[in-house]
Chain A
Amino acid sequence: MKVSLVVNGSPREVDLPPLSRLLDALRGPLGLTGTKEGCAEGECGACTVLLDGDPVNACLVAIGQCEGRRVTTVEGLACAGHLSPLQRCFVEEGGAQCGICTPGMLLSAEALLARSPDPSELEVREALAGNLCRCTGYQRIVESVRAAAALRRGGGGAAP
């Protein structure tokens, strides 16, 4: 089945069985290995991408559901070679340790900041509750997201 979708702003087409996972399309034919697989059952959130702006687990989305839709992956966050405020803050505030959960975390956080530019700590924790991290204890991640929110509000970086 041929599916046309817009990935990180560019129109792309893949030819896969309709029940193939969006995750496989991204990591396979689309060559975007930034999206990770941790559990294949919608629990870990490592595979989180944005589908028309909403965070989804790419391991639970069939490619057949993606016709004509917009997908944002971690590869689409940096702008013209510059890290987005979220990415910068994850590097600076210790939000990424082993980094395997980071792409998914970033996209969940991106969706949060898009709808809530000044989130409380609880809001951040709620938004990230579907993304498991075994390294950080989440403290640095929460701080990274809040620092990025401040940076975006202050115009300290181009929002992607």
Chain B
Amino acid sequence: MATSPPASASTVGRSVPRTDGPPKVTGASRYVDDIPAMPGEIFGRTVRSPVPRGILRGVRLDPAFDWSDVTVVLAEDVPVNVVALILDDQPILATGKVNHAYEPIVLLGCADRLKLARAVQAVALDIDPLPPVLDARAALDGGEIIWGADNVIKRYLITHGCADAARERGEASEAAIDAALARCEVVVTGTYASHHQEQLYIEPQGVIAWWDEAGAHATGSIQCPFYVHKAFLKAFGLPPDRIHITQSVTGGGFGGKEEYPSIIALHAALLARKSGRPVRMIYDRTEDIEATTKRHPASCEITSGCDRDGALRALKIRILMDGGAYATLTQVVLSRGALHAAGAYRWDDVWIEAAAVATNTPPNGAFRGFGAPQTIWAIERHLDRVARELGCDPLDLKAKNVLRPGDSTATGQVLRVSVAGEECITRAIAASGYRQKRAAGPVVRGRVARGIGLSVFMHGAGFTGSGERYYKGKVALDLAPGGRLRIRTASTDIGQGTETVFRQIAADAAGLPLDRVEFAVPCTTTVPDSGPTVASRTVMVVGSIVEAAARELASRVRAEQAGQEPGAGEGDGGAAAGPPALSFEEAADRLLAREGQVTSLKQYEPPDYVRWDDEAYKGDAYPCFGWACDVVEVEVDLDTFEVTVVDFWSATDVGKAIHPVMCKGQIEGGSLQAIGWALSEEIVWQGGRIKNPRMTNYIIPTSLDAPPFHVVLVEEPFPFGPGGGAKGIGEMPMDGGAPAVAAAIEHATGIAARALPLTPERLLEAAWSAGRGERL
């Protein structure tokens, strides 16, 4: 009798053991540097600029050094010297001028690692230094022009309400918002700053590249293989099918392995091309911290107006982000920052002006949250101030104004589906006992003060605006012998669990058990371009393509099963006359035998209601939002100003948790990154160079610094999400930690910090000025 389709228990919503778990816990997983050496392989190194800005006159190779077995690549060896991304402004190797410290200038390759290190010392760079622009404000003022016509990489203006009406009438929108503010009963102004953050994935950047008759190959620690593919297309002018980019097991990325790997892969491939040998380039920690992208620092100047009863009315924000020397993904980061700047709240009138400028610091780039943590930090801190002004608890102000179904956002997006701000607040408050603890006031025991604070936020799920329509992400599902499915996608698993979650989604959609679904290694030669693995879109967007493809493939097999059933056998009580129905496996094999290959290739279709106007920056910025409320309890040592996070609660709406354990793991891990950003992580700059490029002095939280996390998963399904309504989850937990920590510190000590990080030194300084009555 038929053994299948197996009535498999649903796996979505169950925390199955992650499929890449066993190799990871046995040491069998091969990360890039674990891949055995290829015959003839050599190592690669980069010679970098010691100065942040200058004219590059030339490169001298020490004639006393034996260069016979060292491959040297200079800018002139690069076919098209540009790292293809959005604006194509960044050279692969600097030539003519240097725009930031650590900018790559020369590449060296050698089989002997020690000799290679000596070769780096034997290269002299002839650079005439120029005065660098190291501060975003100075860059905006335009005293020295270092990028484009005015140092400005991108600007956006978002208007809503009266400012918008003024814009339509052709009048000054800023005057309109100023007038709206002037009409408000309570007006509060403040500036809120945030700083660089290093992704600090534990596995450094690394790539192995080689060339053969099939073309160029690179394999490495890569979040978005098709970015590297695109970079190779431009730099080498190869046809697409002669470029083969493969992800190796990746030891974390957090955005740091989104665009940067194009550079290291291009470098390795250039050395490989010149030497004719495979090249392994693995950064050491210092080089990794110095040269790779970081979170954009931002400053936000906010003026808001509200009624005395706390109804929020008008909001004016000016955002300035520091992009670093080249544009990288800055315009997209700035966009997400601007789109989240009004917070999770309803305003009648909004005016948000955002600008990102270039400076002579290493280019900043993608980092979990992608611009939103910077502006959410600002608006949350600001509302805490407004609450103080009104004499109410921030919770009441935030809960009163949080966006509800039917409300519209700053871009005029009417929130119709999956709106869970209120529920997240209710659940987080209940879990943490915020009200009672807050009412009890700061508890001071000896020299330790305890306080509690919260943040409320939403995060756009998926790409911004028309991103999906433009990208047309695709996924392929193959039928494999024995009724198995194989998922081919460019969405990588860099630790977040993509592989497992996609298998769960596909298995459920096809009605198969989990172990019948495989996940193919992401390689640009064999998987379709699903779009980058970013912006919380992996599960919500790409997962829904996986779901559709799995459904289609399974239905084809079922049709084959049905088609093979003898019509005569129907309705006659299952008489033994007809042959037994085909099992799912048999039908699948028969279909495969007949067609050779059975694949479902699907492309993403955004929900039709999504309407976005890129010119006016209006409409549905995201198909939906994830929602959350974080509550943090801290203890502050009143002598040393050291802060200990004692407990952390987060109620996070994820639409649907496909895998609850991994989902909580994402929220906990992201929240700890936020705590690190808030309290200890700081890049210390001196003349455009980093003074602390090591794990010893760039301090991320350890297990003793991490609080117990209490995560409440709220599930307000997104009707177009896979697995019954999943939305993005990866970025959101970065958004709310810092403002909640700051609010808790303020509750404990009265210190209202407005700039990150909240190190003991800064808190002490703030306490001092407060003592002199200068706070606020």
Contact = CB atoms under 8 A, between A and B. Distances in A.
* A and B part of one assembly: yes
Interface of A: 27, 32-41, 43-44, 46, 73-75, 77-78, 83, 87-88, 90-94, 96-103, 106, 121, 124-126, 128-142
Contact of B703 (A94, A97, A102, A125): A125
Contact of A106 (B25, B31, B496, B706): B25
Contacts of A37: 33
B26 A131 contact: no
Interface string B280-316: 0000110000000000000000000000000000000
Contact of B17 (A92, A99, A100): A92
A83 B199 CA distance: 31
B435 interface: no
B27 A35 contact: yes
B204 A91 contact: no
Contacts of A106: 25
A153 B703 CA distance: 24
Nearest to A121: B708
B745 interface: no
A122 to B, nearest CB: 9
B683 interface: no
B19 to A, nearest CB: 10
Nearest to B27: A34
Contacts of A141: 703
Contacts of A35: 27
B252 interface: yes
A98 B251 contact: yes
A100 to B, nearest CB: 3
A139 B672 CA distance: 10
Nearest to A91: B21
A88 B30 CA distance: 19
Given A34-B28, A39-B694, A139-B709, A100 B21 contact: no
Interface of B: 15, 17-18, 20-22, 24-31, 33-34, 199-204, 249-254, 284-285, 494-497, 661-662, 664-665, 668-673, 694-696, 700, 702-704, 706, 708-709
Contacts of A125: 703-704, 706
Nearest to A136: B669
A151 B4 CA distance: 36
Contact of A97 (B22, B669, B694, B700): B669
Nearest to B493: A98
A140 B709 CA distance: 10
B498 to A, nearest CB: 11
B708 A133 contact: no
Given A43-B695, A128-B703, A134 B21 contact: no
A-B pairs with lowest CB-CB distance, top 9 = A34-B27, A98-B495, A100-B251, A99-B24, A137-B668, A91-B21, A33-B34, A43-B695, A74-B27
Interface of A is mostly: loop
A135 B24 contact: no
B616 to A, nearest CB: 39
Find the residue from B24, B254, B700 having the highest chain A CB count within 10 A.
B24
Given A91-B22, A125-B704, A142-B703, A97 B202 contact: no
Interface of B is mostly: loop
A133 to B, nearest CB: 7
B26 A98 contact: no
B252 A100 contact: yes
Find the residue from B199, B203, B703, B709 having the highest chain A CB count within 10 A.
B703
A125 B708 CA distance: 11
Contact of A137 (B285, B496, B706): B706
B27 A137 contact: no
A74 B703 CA distance: 20
A44 B704 contact: no
Contacts of A137: 665, 668-672, 706, 709
Given A73-B27, A100-B203, A140 B668 contact: yes
Given A100-B202, A131-B703, A41 B696 contact: yes
B300 to A, nearest CB: 27
A40 B424 CA distance: 42
B704 A134 contact: no
B665 A140 contact: yes
Given A91-B21, A98-B203, A98-B251, A43 B694 contact: yes
Contacts of B20: 99
Contact of A132 (B15, B664, B671, B695): B695
B58 to A, nearest CB: 33
Given A75-B26, A136-B669, A137-B709, A129 B18 contact: no
A77 B24 CA distance: 12
Nearest to A106: B25
Given A129-B704, A132-B702, A98 B672 contact: no
Contacts of A138: 668, 672, 702-703, 706
A40 to B, nearest CB: 6
A43 B31 contact: no
Nearest to B252: A98
A134 B700 CA distance: 8
